[in-house]
Chain A
Amino acid sequence: MKRILKLNVNGEDLEILVEAHKTLLEVLREDLGLTGTKRGCDLGTCGACTVLIDGKPWLSCLTLAAAVQGKKIITIEGLAEDGKLHPLQSSFIEKGAIQCGFCTPGMILTAKAFLEEIPHPSEEEVKKAISGNLCRCTGYIKIIEAILSVSGREE
């Protein structure tokens, strides 16, 4: 049975019809066309589907769309403001922290939530925070550098 879902995605209030068994990931990608959120393992292990719900990282592949009624959701498409990239996005580009780019949306959103919680983390804290986001290209070094540079803790 379909139900009406009201939510705010990237600052825009939306009202959509969703089926109860649809995950937030499916609704974002298929119903709203926001394909920046990636479908990786689809089992909550890789972190590619991470979005921010009320500012905290959630795995959208393991979240029922029906269960986020009234929530504020931010996907990678909603991070830039007025055409200006978020500092984390710029930093990932500058440091070469993107290769194939598949893990990047989840990685940046996790980093954003983490830096809001711990603005000046140590390298170990960064590693722990992004440990749920798998990257098979970069070897993580440049990703960690990019996150630390935004926090003003660059070595």
Chain B
Amino acid sequence: MRLPKFEYIEPKSLREAVKILSAHPSETSLLAGGTDLLVNMKYGVVKPTTLINLRSIPKLNYILEEKETLRIGSLTSLHDLYTSPLIQEKFPILSQAAREVGAFAHQVMGTIGGNLCQGNRCRFYNQSPFWRSVRPPCFKAGGEICHVIKKTKECHSTYCGDMAPALIALGARVKVIGPQGERIFPLKRLYTQNGKKPLSLRKGEILKEILLSQSSGKSIYLKWRWRGSIEFPIVSLALYIEKEDNKISLSRVVFSGVGEGPLEISEIEKSLLGSTLEGSIIDSVSEQVTKLVSPMRTSIYSPAYKRKMAGILLREGLDKLK
């Protein structure tokens, strides 16, 4: 499959990139690792007339520790992330999640920023033009229908990233740069939970870095998929737990693959507060979570199966962090 023609630009700074992106945001795409974007361009579901290669901008690939904060440049490759001794020691969940993305070459090519901004997926959308030609285009492909749920007025494509749940579980913040300058906000707010426009980035904004504060809790990332490699998660879970006097004082429960964005389940976090994880609490929250997630049939896996697996992953995660 050949790529369509486009104008290719190599900016020398983020400011220059922001300027070009702001001029024609809907027709311009940002290229980082390309493992998501170029596939979508070959499929003809993303059709930029201009491509900005962020790799031409120096100094966006770094992992720096400054006082209480760890800063990760958005162009840091997933491979650099999981081979970093600093990440392995201080945030092992990130190293774990990065190893679960695609396979060796995808990890070398793929960047943390690109991974966080990867497109939502759906079995009716991520397909060749020939495959899609038998149906009218869906919301996400610019049409007026959702093939997953016919009566709905919105796109239900699913967020399937691995890094976002892990980073949200760690309470990460992101710094974006735009025409009005820089702003910092919690990573969770980068996601709109809207399948057609999954990211809350404003016109001309580019993700610059990820900020992490040192945390004292334990965390784990569990990814459920058929093969041990390459695939996106059917369901995955990032779990973070902080304890005081052996009781949970803070927890974050974040799923991928079950919603239009990474999904933090605050009801479960409330149920876990103050618990020692002894007795029936693990059983009850694992049961409770199957009713709190509502995945759509956007892949070959049924929503009922995904709900069941969400419960199984939560049980496994809590058992391991007990």
Q: Tell me the smallest distance from the CB of B48 to a CB of chain A, in Å.
A: 11
Q: Tell me the smallest distance from the CB of B129 to a CB of chain A, in Å.
A: 13
B106–A59 touching, CB < 8 Å? yes
A58–B7 touching, CB < 8 Å? no
Please report the C-alpha to C-alpha distance between residue A1 and residue B10 in the assembled complex, in whole angstroms. Answer: 14
B104–A21 touching, CB < 8 Å? no
Question: How many residues of chain B get a CB closer than 8 Å to chain A's CBs?
Answer: 31
Is B55 in contact with chain A by the CB < 8 A criterion? yes
A57–B8 touching, CB < 8 Å? no
Other-chain residue from B10, B34, B105, B229 in contact with A57 (beta carbon distance below 8 A)? B105
- Chain A 15-41, CB within 8 Å of chain B: the 1/0 string? 000011111001000000000000000
Is B103 in contact with chain A by the CB < 8 A criterion? yes
Other-chain residue from A50, A67, A113 in contact with B53 (beta carbon distance below 8 A)? A67
Is B305 in contact with chain A by the CB < 8 A criterion? no
B6–A57 touching, CB < 8 Å? no
Is B35 in contact with chain A by the CB < 8 A criterion? yes
Please report the C-alpha to C-alpha distance between residue A42 and residue B39 in the assembled complex, in whole angstroms. Answer: 8
Q: Which residues of A contact B108 (CB under 8 A)?
A: 56-58
Q: Which residues of A contact B5 (CB under 8 A)?
A: 19-21
Please report the C-alpha to C-alpha distance between residue A140 and residue B267 in the assembled complex, in whole angstroms. Answer: 45
Residue of A nearest to B103 (CB): A132
Please report the C-alpha to C-alpha distance between residue A1 and residue B230 in the assembled complex, in whole angstroms. Answer: 34
Is B2 in contact with chain A by the CB < 8 A criterion? yes
Please report the C-alpha to C-alpha distance between residue A1 and residue B51 in the assembled complex, in whole angstroms. Answer: 13
Residue of B nearest to A63 (CB): B34
Please report the C-alpha to C-alpha distance between residue A93 and residue B229 in the assembled complex, in whole angstroms. Answer: 26
B8–A20 touching, CB < 8 Å? yes
Given A62-B109, A132-B105, A132-B230, residue A43 in contact with residue B42 (CB < 8 A): yes
A67–B39 touching, CB < 8 Å? no
Q: Which residues of B contact A59 (CB under 8 A)?
A: 35, 105-106, 109
Please report the C-alpha to C-alpha distance between residue A130 and residue B104 in the assembled complex, in whole angstroms. Answer: 7
Q: Which residues of A contact B109 (CB under 8 A)?
A: 58-59, 62-63
A21–B103 touching, CB < 8 Å? no
Q: Which residues of B contact A45 (CB under 8 A)?
A: 230
A21–B42 touching, CB < 8 Å? no
Is B87 in contact with chain A by the CB < 8 A criterion? no
Is B156 in contact with chain A by the CB < 8 A criterion? no
Q: Which residues of B contact A62 (CB under 8 A)?
A: 34-35, 38-39, 109
Is B265 in contact with chain A by the CB < 8 A criterion? no
Is A102 in contact with chain B by the CB < 8 A criterion? no
User: For window 101-123 of chain A, which residues contact chain B by CB distance below 8 Å?
Assistant: 110, 113-114
Q: Which residues of A contact B53 (CB under 8 A)?
A: 64, 66-67
- Chain A 72-116, CB within 8 Å of chain B: the 1/0 string? 000000000000000000000000000000000000001001100
Name 13 extra pairs, CB < 8 A, besides A56-B108, A66-B10, A132-B230: A19-B5, A20-B5, A20-B51, A26-B2, A43-B42, A44-B102, A44-B106, A57-B108, A62-B35, A64-B8, A66-B8, A131-B227, A132-B229
Residues of B near any A CB (own CB < 8 A): 1-8, 10, 31, 34-35, 38-39, 42, 51, 53, 55-56, 79, 102-106, 108-109, 227-230
